[in-house]
A and B are shown apart, each in its own frame.
Chain A
Amino acid sequence: QSVLTQPPSVSAAPGQKVTISCSGSNSNIGINYVSWYQQLPGTAPKLLIYDDNKRPSGIPDRFSGSKSGTSATLVISGLQTGDEADYYCGAWDSSLSAGKVFGGGTKLTVL
Chain B
Amino acid sequence: QVQLQESGPGLLEPSGTLSLTCVVSGVSISSTNWWNWVRQPPGKGLEWIGEIYHSGKTNYNPSLKSRVTISVDKSKKQFSLELSSVTAADTAVYYCARDPATWDGVAYQHSNWFDPWGQGTLVTVSS
Tell me whether A33 and B62 are in contact in the complex, defined as CB-CB below 8 angstroms, given that A44-B95, A88-B45, A102-B47 are known contacts: no
Chain B's interface: helix, strand, loop or mixed, by majority? Answer: loop
**A109 interface contact, C-beta 8 A:** no
Instruction: Please measure, in the bound complex, the distance between the C-alpha atom of A101 and the C-alpha atom of B48, giving whole angstroms.
Output: 7
Picked from B48, B119, B120, the residue with its CB within 8 Å of the CB of A99 is B48
A67-111 vs B, Cβ < 8 Å mask (1 yes, 0 no):
000000000000000000000101110000111111111000000
Chain B's interface size range is: 20 to 34
Stretch at the interface among B14-22, B25-33, B105-113: B105-113
Picked from B95, B112, B119, the residue with its CB within 8 Å of the CB of A32 is B112
User: Chain B residue with minimal CB distance to A106?
Assistant: B45
Picked from B59, B112, B119, the residue with its CB within 8 Å of the CB of A91 is B112
B58 CB, nearest partner CB in chain A, Å: 12
Picked from B36, B114, B117, the residue with its CB within 8 Å of the CB of A35 is B114
Q: Is the CB of A99 within 8 A of B62?
A: yes
In the assembled complex, 27 residue pairs joining A and B whose CB atoms fall closer than 8 Å, in A order, are A2-B45, A32-B112, A33-B111, A35-B113, A37-B46, A37-B114, A44-B117, A44-B118, A45-B46, A47-B115, A47-B116, A50-B113, A51-B113, A88-B45, A88-B46, A90-B46, A90-B113, A91-B112, A92-B110, A99-B60, A99-B61, A101-B48, A102-B45, A102-B48, A103-B45, A104-B45, A105-B46
